[in-house]
Structure 1
């Protein structure tokens, strides 16, 4: 009999985000079912006791190559399906939360996913409003410290698999269109200005496979801060429920599905540049979930 659910991420020197990822998924499915693919970390974040009982697979450090990375992760997650009913892959700054109005836990959600299915999360950037919100305490409940999220099609990722898939670079798409339900992805890259700039310093200075690769992770500090503050300056809405009958959520979800209908043979099966025109206040039922 297989175990119900595994969670996988891949890291290099993620001393801020990895403890958050391990706490979130370890609490949900047990640390023994969490797998960290360590791409040559040197900061101690992937060594005991920091890894909190998770399994660590160490691979040699090499220049960042998203095509190579996705191929390796696709094969690794497929291999885990020999031992698990379902496997989650997310980047280390991405937290999955099934709708608390329907599901008591991530394990309960995964138990309802059909054999051979792949679930695409509804994706959001968690956005700090720097003029109103202080720096994050990464050891505490993040959703109690941040009020605002922004819809992002780039974060609508196929994240929970019950069959082998081949992720495209960036893990945004697979060789099939999106299949949404009530699973949400909260992306933390923009949740804290200071931490975001610190991470940008590392990614800007690490080796990349080509001079063009990873341009969004190598931009100047001022450009990145301006992007975050631009998001923070969007109008805020407090009427969004994130329930299935929410017309605003349905509008953006349908925009993604419509974009998929004309990309049937493309590497990226959805338009990755659909971003909400407002910040939405995070509904209270999510506040104790991450």
Structure 2
């Protein structure tokens, strides 16, 4: 099975190198496609073999007037660009496309598969997409120091929030159209694999996640409520008593499959809580 991986990057500080190292170790750098979001961004150096595409962040009129791009518009633009690129790759003999934000990592359960690539090579395709169980890795401010980007991330973090938002259909086997943020596929159901996890690292470090919370440009673009939710999540994890995640994962998958909102039937609804779990050691060894 020939696999391509797509992401977009803007204002990244620590995640792109990890993204390239992880997906490149599974599929080779030639299979990686990184969209640089904005002509004001520079193409990173030192990543030979990776396919970089440099695209405009805003349309011409917005660039001239310097109007901040609203967050919701940005998310729709990104998902549309990724969907269009993925359709092109399918025309050129790719069998599967993994599409993620740069801080998201699709992981095959090491108890069952040697690697993500090994999972895919053995997989019998029966659905258009697969989702992994979303684990939002959050720094526990009462016990964990700032992240060291040069070291394995999960060796430095022990808890995650089981997240409907990151139980995303990031693995696709045929041309589809992702919705904003890649959280759903338009006009299609989702299927949560018992073998896959999606790790979200956007909350892995407080200063990285919240350092620009008061940036007036971000606030003008509509990021204020998102930053408030981030702050609340840090405080929730700080106050929580985490439980062992391993015995509960299958149950969470079933509940997320059946819990849906009437007007958002093709993506999972939130779990009560949401649950804060201890990441099993077998998963912490992967990243």
**Would the alpha carbon gap of residues 224 and 282 (structure 1) be closer, same or farther in structure 2, given more than 3 Å must change?**
closer
1:183 aligns with 2:201: no
The CA distance in 1 between the partners of 2:38 and 2:125, in whole Å, is: 36
- Residue 136 of structure 1: aligned partner: 147
Q: Deviations over 1:218-270 (max 9, x none)?
A: x36xx7434312223211113x32xxxx3x2233222221124x64xx45623
> Is the CA contact 2:37–2:54 (under 8 Å) kept in the aligned structure 1?
yes
- Residue 238 of structure 2: aligned partner: 232
CA RMSD across the alignment: 2.4
> Is the CA contact 2:3–2:96 (under 8 Å) kept in the aligned structure 1?
yes
- Residue 256 of structure 1: aligned partner: 256
The CA distance in 2 between the partners of 1:27 and 1:201, in whole Å, is: 37
> Is the CA contact 1:85–1:162 (under 8 Å) kept in the aligned structure 2?
yes
**Would the alpha carbon gap of residues 158 and 224 (structure 1) be closer, same or farther in structure 2, given more than 3 Å must change?**
closer
1:85 aligns with 2:85: no
Q: Deviations over 1:53-75 (max 9, x none)?
A: 31101111212522232222111
1:30 aligns with 2:32: no
- Residue 10 of structure 1: aligned partner: 8
**Would the alpha carbon gap of residues 105 and 214 (structure 1) be closer, same or farther in structure 2, given more than 3 Å must change?**
same
Q: Deviations over 1:177-198 (max 9, x none)?
A: 2211111001011111111123
The CA distance in 2 between the partners of 1:113 and 1:216, in whole Å, is: 41
- Residue 108 of structure 1: aligned partner: 118
- How many equivalent residue pairs? 270
> Is the CA contact 2:110–2:282 (under 8 Å) kept in the aligned structure 1?
yes
The 3-state SS of whatever aligns with 1:120 is strand
**Would the alpha carbon gap of residues 286 and 85 (structure 1) be closer, same or farther in structure 2, given more than 3 Å must change?**
same
**Would the alpha carbon gap of residues 137 and 275 (structure 1) be closer, same or farther in structure 2, given more than 3 Å must change?**
farther
Structure 1 unpaired stretches of 5+: none
The CA distance in 2 between the partners of 1:41 and 1:133, in whole Å, is: 36
Q: Deviations over 1:142-181 (max 9, x none)?
A: 1111111110001110011110111111211112222111
Q: 1:269 aligns with which of 266, 269, 274?
A: 266
Q: 1:118 aligns with which of 118, 125, 129?
A: 129
- In terms of mean alpha carbon deviation, does 171-180 or 108-117 score higher? 108-117
**1:282 to partner: Cα distance:** 1.1
The 3-state SS of whatever aligns with 1:37 is strand
The CA distance in 2 between the partners of 1:233 and 1:113, in whole Å, is: 42
TM-score for the superposition, normalised by structure 1: 0.84
Misfit runs of 4+, over 6 Å: none
TM-score for the superposition, normalised by structure 2: 0.85
Structure 2 unpaired stretches of 5+: 59-68
Q: Deviations over 1:107-136 (max 9, x none)?
A: 111221416631111101001111201111
